[in-house]
């Protein structure tokens, strides 16, 4: 069965420090991987994706993510956190032979001033 795991319900980081939100996946075939952000009472916003090529992908708002095939991980990173980055973050995966994107349970990121 395909699955996406976000092992941390919440991540707390001080403003200006680097942040990492973890994600591991299990899908059949080559994975297509995504990160989304959700602000309160809003829909999910697409941040970035990995389809093929360079393992480090860059996305919106200064976020980036690193694809690691051997560890089946796709962690979200940002070198310097902002208070405005505080939100709910979802990792998602699509197997190359699948029709539905699988979402993780979400990680709440809290950036303290």
Partner 1 sequence: SQTIHQWPATLVQPVGSPLSLECTVEGTSNPNLYWYRQAAGRGLQLLFYSVGIGQISSEVPQNLSASRPQDRQFILSSKKLLLSDSGFYLCAWRERTSGKGYEQYFGPGTRLTVT
Instruction: Decide whether 82 or 88 has the Cβ nearer to partner 1.
Output: 88
- Spatial distance between the Cα atoms of 56 and 9, rounded to a whole number of angstroms: 24
Instruction: Decide whether 45 or 80 has the Cβ nearer to partner 1.
Output: 45
Please report how close the Cβ of residue 83 comes to partner 1 at its closest, in angstroms. Answer: 19
- Spatial distance between the Cα atoms of 75 and 10, rounded to a whole number of angstroms: 14
Please report how close the Cβ of residue 112 comes to partner 1 at its closest, in angstroms. Answer: 20
The contact set with partner 1 (CB under 8 A) reads 32, 34, 36, 40-46, 49, 51, 88, 90, 92, 94, 99-101, 103-106
For tokens 């860059």, name the residue: 58
Please report how close the Cβ of residue 65 comes to partner 1 at its closest, in angstroms. Answer: 13
Rounded to 5 degrees, what are φ and ψ at 62? 80, 5
């Amino acid at each position: 069965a395909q699955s996406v795991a976000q092992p941390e319900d919440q991540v707390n980081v001080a403003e200006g420090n680097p942040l990492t939100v973890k994600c591991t996946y299990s899908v059949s075939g080559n994975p297509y991987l995504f990160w989304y952000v959700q602000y309160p009472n809003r829909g999910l916003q697409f941040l970035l994706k990995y389809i093929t090529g360079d393992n480090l992908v860059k996305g919106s708002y200064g976020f980036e993510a690193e694809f690691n095939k051997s560890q089946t991980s796709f962690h979200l990173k940002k070198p310097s956190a902002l208070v405005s980055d505080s939100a709910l973050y979802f990792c998602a995966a699509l197997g190359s032979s699948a029709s539905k994107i699988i979402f993780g349970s979400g990680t709440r990121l809290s950036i303290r001033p």
